[in-house]
Chains A and B, each alone.
Chain A
Amino acid sequence: MKLIKLMFKNAFRHKLRSFLTIAGIAIAVIAFDILRTVVNAWDAGIEATAANRLITRQAVSFIFPLPYSYRDRIKNIEGVEQVTFATWFGGVYKDKSNFFGRLAVEAETAFDIYSEYVVPPDQLEAFKRERNSCVVGSDLVKLYGFKLGDIVRLEGDIYPGTWDFVVKGIYTPNIKNGDATQMFFHWEYVDERMKKESPFRAGEVGWYIVRIAEPNRSGDISAKIDDLFKNSSAETKTESERAFAQGFMSSVSSILTAMNVLSWVIIGIIMLVLANTMIMASRERTKEYAVMKVLGFAGKHLSWLIIGESMVIAFTGGVVGILLSFPIVQGIGEAIPKNIFPVFNLEYHILVYAFVAALLVGLISSVFPIIKALRTPIVEGFRHIG
């Protein structure tokens, strides 16, 4: 027998208590993993932005359109490499609950600027050629079973009427956290129809996406763009794609902060749970520790015995929690509509955090019992009742 055997036996001496403590730690680890994954999913939107892209939108609000005529004027600004634009189409696909991003874009340039959305060259050519075609994300293919040649029918709301688009391409993001749940089609096709049906709304685009050659000049070029349209009927606000995404997120940022804090509060709570278990266990063993000291065991032996016991419980709870986190986080990810969190993955670093936190909790929980065990004189230990 080695001391380590006694350590394991001690850890499971009170089966129910150990089980409840381990379950507590496991649940906390799972809760931590879920919260961090949600926070991460929000952040993913920001991380997926590119440093060399600017967004130019209407100065007053994102919902007001900009004239199509701005396109060439922006393109002529020194430092601008490429310009494209997009318009939020809205609409309904079969049912209101099928919510995914539908954007009318400039077919010629869209995938040039959104180079992280990869479309096979032949499909891209076909898309550019046919004005009523569309490109859909690979996640939409999984979700709705879209195939090349399928017709996707949208009922317009912002753009009234029935709209049919032929799937000519499927894009796959080649970056981590890329959003594969969008549908792109020709702005020209939409605008053509607007010219006929509601001419006063023709020639409008939602926002411009500007690619610049030098990312470190984004402030300077943004200012140049905005200056260009100063005092016009549609003033612009230009910022980097990242700043834009962050601004978009700021409405939820306090919730994210709360989740962040909460995830650590949970770690604090399991610390208390385990510390309580360890203190109870050590108190019950006061006499045994006295016996061991009588037999010649020193402070270091007792310290390892107590740390080890605490770590066995923390480790088991941590491992169980992590193993259960996978199916649970995945289940939640599947239950949440794709468009809310295009990316909902339990990331490696979250698991490492959770596991290290569990082990630290184990370590810290043993401190007080160790101090107590070492400080109690043998004769006091024997006089201990209980």
Chain B
Amino acid sequence: METLIHVNAVSKMYKRDKFEIPVLNDLTLQVPEGKFLALMGPSGSGKTTLLNLIAGIDRPTKGSISVKGTEITSLSETALAKWRANSVGFVFQFYNLIPVLTAFENVELPLILTPLSKAERKQHVETALQIVGLGDRMDHYPKQLSGGQEQRVAIARAIVTDPILIVADEPTGDLDKHSAEEILTLLERLNKEFKKTIVMVTHDPHAAAKADEVLHLEKGELA
């Protein structure tokens, strides 16, 4: 398998007032295309930070990251935003749906930025919602859905632009066992059936077991 993500000697420091908090320390990592990778580690070890860097929503203090040959660490803000819109799908612990939009509209949101016609957008959205099993809940608002359903809408939103990479930050962290299982099965399917590369942060060993590989992060370094 070809390497999709190169993380090269990346360090990340946050500045709080006068203090510099080192979060990631000279970290190097490669993720092959098509991999389902799980990141585990204690709270505060830098998992979310690493995921954000890979997904291009934050920048490293040192080092570089490239994804599918694009060095995202040297892109301008605008270029990076475009790259994110095309290449990455995001799944968060707390779903982060827009409460005033229906399931359909939430999934459609990233497509507004594309040149797709209304009919094409509709088709994409319906397909995505059908993949996550919510073809019959398109007109529901987030508050009319269960947590597991909301997370499935979020996954539909993540895949609707057909990105090569999906990042998920504790996607089952807020769900009951049954819903968590559904989400994991769905992610597995996206990986196996739709060949998406997935990087998933999780606390849950059961969730991690679904992945091809599990990496442990400890105080900003891979253990």
Contacts and interface: CB of A to CB of B under 8 A. Distances in A.
A60 interface: no
B194 to A, nearest CB: 19
Q: Which 7 A-B pairs have the closest CB atoms?
A: A296-B85, A9-B100, A378-B57, A295-B110, A291-B96, A1-B105, A379-B58
Contact of B101 (A1, A297, A301): A1
B98 A291 contact: yes
Interface stretch (B62-70, B76-84, B184-192, B196-204): B76-84
B58 A295 contact: no
Nearest to A12: B100
Contacts of B90: 294-295
B81 A296 contact: yes
Contacts of B110: 295-296
A242 interface: no
A3 B101 CA distance: 11
A153 interface: no
Most buried by A among B57, B78, B86, B157: B57
Interface of A: 1-3, 5-6, 9-10, 13, 287-288, 291-298, 301, 377-379, 382
Given A293-B81, A294-B55, A296-B82, 16 more contacts: A1-B108, A5-B105, A6-B105, A10-B100, A13-B99, A288-B96, A291-B98, A294-B57, A295-B84, A295-B90, A295-B109, A295-B157, A296-B113, A297-B81, A297-B113, A377-B58
A6 B52 CA distance: 26
Contacts of A9: 100-101
Interface string B104-135: 11001110110000000000000000000000
Nearest to A291: B96
Nearest to A300: B78
A contact face: mostly helix, strand, loop, or mixed:
helix
Contacts of A3: 112
Contact of B98 (A2, A288, A377): A288
A144 B57 CA distance: 77
Given A378-B57, A379-B52, A6 B82 contact: no
25 contacts: A1-B101, A1-B104, A1-B105, A1-B109, A2-B112, A5-B105, A6-B100, A6-B101, A9-B100, A10-B100, A288-B96, A293-B57, A294-B55, A294-B57, A294-B84, A295-B84, A295-B110, A295-B113, A295-B157, A296-B81, A296-B110, A298-B78, A298-B81, A301-B113, A379-B57
A292 B109 contact: yes
B170 to A, nearest CB: 12
Contacts of A288: 96, 98
A295 B57 CA distance: 10
Contacts of B85: 295-296
A210 to B, nearest CB: 71
Contacts of A13: 99-100
Interface string B29-52: 000000000000000000000001
B211 to A, nearest CB: 23
B41 to A, nearest CB: 18
A5 B99 CA distance: 13
Nearest to B104: A1
A287 B105 CA distance: 18
Most buried by B among A2, A297, A377: A297
A212 B104 CA distance: 78
A297 B111 CA distance: 10
A226 B221 CA distance: 101
Contacts of B109: 1, 292, 295
Contacts of B98: 6, 288, 291
A289 to B, nearest CB: 10
A67 to B, nearest CB: 81
A6 B109 CA distance: 10
A297 B77 CA distance: 11
